[in-house]
């Protein structure tokens, strides 16, 4: 029988006469009695065969297992779901993408707490998966390390490197007769040349950067390419390190302080991070009872220089270029005067120590504060009668001539309707497309509008703005304003906009206004009738009843 001296939490499962059943099960699976004295390490594997962001994760998990064994732990792998937003684009599947974040986090909690593991390594790489892994790590307050799957190699077509969003823009060019279907097919075949997350600063890579800046990955993890030996070494070292953290009594709460979240927001703003950071960072912070608001993002973005112009905000550099330049450590090196360098990380070094030892190998890709693309970061929060609780725009991806714009509203109740109108040539230069009933409740699930925004660029309508109570992919560029709060389904003013209304967008002035008099608004409100959610059954029916607004991170209450 196992010694009563086992010092780990997993002793609750295997120590004592009444635990003969679990010990028998473990023996049946090949675990030796003497191994049961060791720490039990969970490996959360979000592998699936549906998308490249997770297609390679089994290989990384093997490396993690080797590291756990080498350090004296016993690894136990289990899986959970992972949705690829790319497959869910412009269909009802997108209604499930953001809500899947909570399903993943909850499923991890249930397994970790139900089986009383001592520590956990969480492996994933796509838009909602990385935030959900971070939420779970924060919630459980155990030794935890994140291993992000890494970016894929950029696609190459006609001698140029490109990423996913550019293929969607090319679809608009085909419709305009500027590109043949044969050339489109060739470009399509070049798009996804390797496993990994899309080769741009979309949500997946933005949140991988956040994970590293928070201190929950080993240095260099966020941008290490999925196919690189470096990624496998980081995976193995993460397995080794988690056992050390368990033996030291480390808990994730010692890392996840308010200063750590400020560091993460600053690094995200410095690399042109996705507007979806505005949803996910507050949700992660909420797990440790820290409140992050749109005002925090506004304050930090306004005072954080924009150092790395990665696609889609820039036209030249991909995630591979950022990795070659030195990745997140290089960003932190240039940004260190604005960071809290005393913050601890899972590798045992502080943020400051990592930054000091880092190298910036390409100062065109990662600029200094003095030579920054701008002295403000990627996000701007807009307020006004249309968004009293805030709306978000990726200001670093907006052309200067569209930073201030006024135009006539073209109103749609779904992204699908808007895309149909764009494709049919029904949108005029200078219009402001309004897509409502796409928020957390109204969608349901707060769908992203990447197809609509890509079609606008592809159709040559880069002087058309788009506002929505839904959200945008991190791949979006242009004057696209999302997260309008409160949303239409909660009585927000966006639900009262009609075709032809004038809308004012002033990004430098942080304003978003519906230019309609109060008497007209009052009259419309009196006649207002909500429309039902697009999906009203199963999980999403329950989700609608408990999800908060976008400005609170769309968390479940």
Q: Where are the beta strands (DSSP E) in 33-127?
A: 40-45, 74-79, 119-124
Among candidate residues 130, 140, 83, the one with its CA nearest the CA of residue 108: 140
CB 392 within 8 A of CB 379: yes
Q: Which residues of 7-36 are buried (b: 16+ CB within 10 A; e: fewer)?
A: ebebbebbbeeebeebbeebeeeebeeeeb
Q: Where are the beta strands (DSSP E) in 242-399?
A: 379-382, 391-394
Angle between helices 258-270 and 203-214 (to 10 degrees): 140
CB 472 within 8 A of CB 489: no
Among candidate residues 61, 41, 11, 201, the one with its CA nearest the CA of residue 112: 41
Give strand pairing partners of 157.
160
Catalytic residue among 100, 206, 387, 473: 473
3-class SS of residue 163: coil
Give strand pairing partners of 356.
none
3-class SS of residue 465: strand
Whole-angstrom distance, CA of residue 155 vs CA of residue 160: 8
Task: Give residue 82's region: left, alpha or beta (phi > 0; psi -120 to 50).
Answer: beta
Whole-angstrom distance, CA of residue 449 vs CA of residue 466: 9
Q: Where are the beta strands (DSSP E) in 196-263?
A: none
Using the 8-state DSSP alphabet, how is residue 557 labeled?
-
Reported as type and span, the H/E element at residue 435 is strand 432-435
359 labelled as ligand-binding? no
Angle between helices 97-115 and 538-546 (to 10 degrees): 90
Peptide bond into 175 cis (omega under 30): no
436 labelled as ligand-binding? no
Q: Which residues of 432-465 are buried (b: 16+ CB within 10 A; e: fewer)?
A: bbbbbbbbbbbbbbbbbbbbbbbbbbbbebbbbb
Among candidate residues 97, 106, 162, the one with its CA nearest the CA of residue 556: 106
448 labelled as ligand-binding? yes
CB 127 within 8 A of CB 96: no
**Is 473 in the active site?**
yes
β-strands 404-412, 502-506 pairing: antiparallel
* 101, 201, 244, 390, 403 from 108: Cα distances, Å: 11, 27, 22, 32, 42
CB 276 within 8 A of CB 208: no
Peptide bond into 546 cis (omega under 30): no
181 labelled as ligand-binding? no
Using the 8-state DSSP alphabet, how is residue 398 labeled?
S
- What distance, in Å, lies between the first and last C-alpha atoms of the chain? 44
Active site residues: 473
Annotated binding site for Mg(2+): 85, 127-128, 448
């Amino acid at each position: 029988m196992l010694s009563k001296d086992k010092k780990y939490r997993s002793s609750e499962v295997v120590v004592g006469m009444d635990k003969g059943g679990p010990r028998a099960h473990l023996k049946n699976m090949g675990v030796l009695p003497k191994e049961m004295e060791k720490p039990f390490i969970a490996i959360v594997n979000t592998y699936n065969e549906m998308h490249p962001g997770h297609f390679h994760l089994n290989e990384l998990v093997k490396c993690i297992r080797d590291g756990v064994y080498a350090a004296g732990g016993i690894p136990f792998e289990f899986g959970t779901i992972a949705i690829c937003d790319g497959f869910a684009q412009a269909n009802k599947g997108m209604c499930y993408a953001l809500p899947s974040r909570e399903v993943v986090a909850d499923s991890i909690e249930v397994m970790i707490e139900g089986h009383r593991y001592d520590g956990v390594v969480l492996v994933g790489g796509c838009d909602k998966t990385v935030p959900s892994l971070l939420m779970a790590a924060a919630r459980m307050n155990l030794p935890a390390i994140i291993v992000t799957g890494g970016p894929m190699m950029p696609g190459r077509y006609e001698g140029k490197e490109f990423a996913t969003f550019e293929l969607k823009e090319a679809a608009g060019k085909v419709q305009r007769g500027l590109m043949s279907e044969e050339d489109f097919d060739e470009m399509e075949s070049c798009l996804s040349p390797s496993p990994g997350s899309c080769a741009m600063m979309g949500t997946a890579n933005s949140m991988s950067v956040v994970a590293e800046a928070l201190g929950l990955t080993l240095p260099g993890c966020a941008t290490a390419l999925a196919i690189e030996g470096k990624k496998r070494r980081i995976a193995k070292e993460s397995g080794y390190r988690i056992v050390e953290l368990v033996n030291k009594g480390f808990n994730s709460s010692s890392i996840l302080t308010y200063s750590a979240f400020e560091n993460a927001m600053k690094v995200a703003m410095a690399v042109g991070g996705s507007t979806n950071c505005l949803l996910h960072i507050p949700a992660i912070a909420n797990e440790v009872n820290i409140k992050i608001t749109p005002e925090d993002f506004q304050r930090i973005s306004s005072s954080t220089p924009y150092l790395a112009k990665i696609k889609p905000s820039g036209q030249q550099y991909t995630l591979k270029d950022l990795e070659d330049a030195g990745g997140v450590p290089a960003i932190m090196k240039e940004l260190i005067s604005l960071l809290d360098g005393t913050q601890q990380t899972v590798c045992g070094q502080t943020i400051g120590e990592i930054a000091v030892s880092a190298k910036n190998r390409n100062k065109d890709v990662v600029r200094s504060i003095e030579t920054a693309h701008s002295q403000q970061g990627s996000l701007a929060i807009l307020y006004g009668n249309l968004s009293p609780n805030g709306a978000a725009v990726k200001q670093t991806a907006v052309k200067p001539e569209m930073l201030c714009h006024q135009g006539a509203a073209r109103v749609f109740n779904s992204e699908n309707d808007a895309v149909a109108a764009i494709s049919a040539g029904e949108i005029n230069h200078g219009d402001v497309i309004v897509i409502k009933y796409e928020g957390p409740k109204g969608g349901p699930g707060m769908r992203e509008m990447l197809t609509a925004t890509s079609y606008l660029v592809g159709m040559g309508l880069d002087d058309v703005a788009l506002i929505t109570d839904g959200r945008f992919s991190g791949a979006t560029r242009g004057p696209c304003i999302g997260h309008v709060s409160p949303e239409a389904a909660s009585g927000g003013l966006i639900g009262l906009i009609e075709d032809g209304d004038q809308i004012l967008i002033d990004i430098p002035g942080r304003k978003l206004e519906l230019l309609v008099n109060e008497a007209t608004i009052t009259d419309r409100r009196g006649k207002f009738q909500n429309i039902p959610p697009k999906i009203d059954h199963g999980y999403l029916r329950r989700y609608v009843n408990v999800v908060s607004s976008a400005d609170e991170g769309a968390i479940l209450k």
